[in-house]
Amino acid sequence: MTSLDVELRSVRDGGRKALVPYFVAGLSDDWPDHVRAAVHAGADAVEIGIPFSDPMMDGVVIQEAADIALRRGTTLLSILDELSTLDVGVPLVAMTYYNLFHHLGLERSAGALRAAGISGTIVPDLPIEELGSWQSACNDQDVACVLMVAPSTPLERVERVNSLSQGFVYASARMAVTGAASDGGHAADVVQRVRLSGDKPVYVGIGITTPKQAETAAGFADGVIVGTALVQRLLGGEGAAGVEAFVGELRRAIDAA
């Protein structure tokens, strides 16, 4: 069991629904302050988006933010260098694409993530059939590999994903790239299917846009991931104060679930 497993099970077993905001690293000079603000407002973990030039899972808002970050010269190693001085007291989970780790080298990447304080990764373009080498490198560094389940995932495959995922299982609420949505999609059904085959915490993401939607998702899931709605505010000029206010709204809504 990884340290991320231990920490997130502790959150769940303590009766708290987890709130996980997502940020695009390198979007601005002060992006680490956004992470600090989110934690101060009640985040239980933070997803750190490492920008990539061909983000197959990301919608237009996060793509725009990633493009800005890349034009600013952001790289995997520059992000990890900044994170190495960021001590916020909650787990940090990196989300990016396999090419970056393959290019740097799997063992070197896993070690660099751990040295920077990252305790988990989400790599959506790495199928479970090809997970072995990456998960082995991560296991050596106590870095969890968080896997995803989609509404279309067959039950047989859900069971395999559940057995391999570490930290939590990411339940995608819809068959879509990241982005705002007006409803909860298929999140409840996905969570139910994941729970049939294991007891790992299950967090819902993709389309959670408003505090009300977060509250609804927290009613049946162990946690909620909010990305696009937060990144959109940052693109609109809101800074750390705006992050803290919005994450605080989400926290209060989730606590009411």
Q: Fill in the DSSP letter of residue 93.
A: E
Q: How many whole angstroms separate alpha carbon 240 and alpha carbon 165?
A: 32
Q: Using alpha carbons, select from 248, 215, 249 the residue that is nearest to residue 37.
A: 248
46's enclosing H/E stretch is strand 46-49
CB atoms within 10 A of CB 108: 12
222 noted as active-site residue = no
* Continuous H helices in the chain: 3-13, 31-40, 60-71, 76-83, 98-104, 106-115, 132-140, 155-164, 187-195, 211-218, 228-235, 240-255
Please list, in sequence order, all residues whose beta carbon lies within 8 angstroms of the beta carbon of residue 108, skipping any fewer than 6 positions away: none
Handedness of CA 67, 89, 8, 41 (dihedral sign): negative
At residue 134's C-alpha, the angle toward residues 130 and 138, to 5°, is 150
7 noted as active-site residue = no
CB 24 within 8 A of CB 51: yes
Among the listed residues 5, 7, 44, 58, the single catalytic one is 58
Q: How many whole angstroms separate alpha carbon 123 and alpha carbon 99?
A: 10
Tokens of 30: 């002060």
Among the listed residues 5, 7, 44, 47, the single catalytic one is 47
Active site residues: 47, 58
